[in-house]
Amino acid sequence: MTTLIRLLALFVLGLCAPGLAAAQGDRYAQQHERMVARDIEARGIDDPATLAAMRAVPRHLFVPEDRRRHAYQDRPVPIGYGQTISQPHLVAYMTQLLELRPGMRVLEIGTGSGYQAAILGAIVEDVFTIEIIEELARWGGENLQQAGYGHVQVRHADGYYGWEEHAPFDAIVVTAAADHIPPPLLAQLKDGGRMVIPVGSPFLTQTLMLVTRSGEDIVTESLLPVRFVPLTRAPR
């Protein structure tokens, strides 16, 4: 009798599971659209490619399961190892600054959970991302695969040195604060390319900077104060 009851329970659960999954998907879908409309579009992000990417990528798949209730709030969320997934508005703002178009090659420094890389991968095909924390590189890569962005290439390495084998890049985005702009990243930026990077002390407010290359000239522009986790370096 116990076996029969267990089988009946499993059968009923099987019938209900699609409905439960759909309800959960609907709940996230509503939160997702509200986040994009209220926290991103209404706050001045107007690049169509960026908005489409922010709507396409399910942020909750890049947040630890025990923190998914915060997935569609405009706030950073801890992901372990002293790292965070950046707040959605800032992700959108930094993406818009890159002025991405199909056919571009993009480098990200600081994979984390993979969310920023997925946003980039929703716009361009050639995306390369580097993460110095091995466990996060593995987890971020798994998240990208599961979310449908397996074309993004993930590398476990010190992002300070970029990814020379795939340079030059049309755009580079750094998602951790450095105390200076790494020269190897400047060297790997294509003529006409754009880099977005937070610069400053890890213990103070930093400055988000836009860096553009025009031939041998490098132009920097200070945009706004931000707070990012520090750019972690490999031991020397």
pLDDT above 90 coverage of the chain, percent = 83
Buried residues in 92-101 as b, exposed as e (16+ CB within 10 A): bbbbbbbebe
Q: Which residues contact 223 (CB under 8 A, 6 or more apart)?
A: 97, 207, 208, 209, 210
Query: In CATH, what number does 37-226 get?
Result: 3.40.50.150
Q: Which tens digit of pLDDT belongs to each residue from 106-147?
A: 999 999 999 999 999 999 999 999 999 999 999 999 999 999
Query: What pTM value is reported for the model?
Result: 0.88
Q: Rounded distance, CA 42 to CA 106, Å?
A: 27
So where are the chain's domains?
Answer: 37-226
User: Which positions are catalytic?
Assistant: 86
